[in-house]
Chain A
């Protein structure tokens, strides 16, 4: 299962080992981990709740992974995203990509997280000393996703 949405924490080392061992032709493993910060803009964040849309979230993540596989010659990709109650320093998301060489792995990994942040149905609600607030989408995330121009030719 290349995509998992779960409340439990994940063991990144174990997940990467499993990816690496699944294909002996792999020479590169690239990974990104997103974590909860204890500050956002001008406010301290004491805890956070991650919401998702069961059914659509998994479907959207699978589509992003399929897009990455169509754009780059990669061996495999894994996305684990947590939901529910989280606190500062907790892991939120793991994106891992394996390939023969590092160029494709780095690019596909960055692409997947950029697209996840703008297309995958998740919403964060932060607890601050002034009360709870929903996190607003960032223009910088849209800019990051826009860097990955659509392929000029249809895949395949």
Chain B
């Protein structure tokens, strides 16, 4: 259960999303109600612009928490590293 305080989370943006967001990474203070991947995605989409476009519901975005692929329900804790990236194209 999250304390009712803001939490510092590290965000990492990869590939095409790094280019459209204009940053490779940032640290954010998330409000207490932003305690899942889904809530974080909606919170970032609220920034508008490229964030609203790329993180809109239904867009094919992948999110990982501490190097593990996450779902919308995955919880987020202070100190976590959350990566946001497009569908992968290796091999």
Contacts and interface: CB of A to CB of B under 8 A. Distances in A.
Interface residues of A, number: 27
- Report which residue of A52, A81, A121 has the largest number of chain B beta carbons within 10 angstroms of its beta carbon: A121
A93 B90 CA distance: 9
Contact of A122 (B60, B67, B69, B91): B91
Interface residues of B, number: 17
Contacts of B60: 137
B90 A56 contact: no
B87 interface: yes
Interface of A: prevailing SS:
mixed
B89 interface: yes
B89 A122 contact: yes
Contacts of B83: 53, 56
Interface stretch (A7-15, A97-105, A111-119, A148-156): A111-119
Nearest to B14: A53
Interface string B51-91: 00000000010001001110000000000000101111111
Contacts of B68: 56, 59
Contacts of B89: 117, 122-124, 134-137
A93 B64 CA distance: 23
Given A53-B12, A123-B16, A134-B15, A117 B85 contact: no
Contacts, number: 70
Nearest to A114: B91
B86 A123 contact: yes
Given A53-B12, A121-B14, A116 B86 contact: no
B88 A123 contact: yes
A119 B83 CA distance: 14
A123 B12 contact: no
A117 B91 contact: yes
A120 B15 CA distance: 13
Nearest to B67: A56
Contact of B90 (A116, A125, A134): A116
A136 B89 CA distance: 7
14 contacts: A34-B91, A52-B90, A56-B68, A116-B90, A117-B91, A120-B91, A121-B85, A121-B88, A122-B90, A122-B91, A123-B86, A123-B89, A134-B15, A134-B86
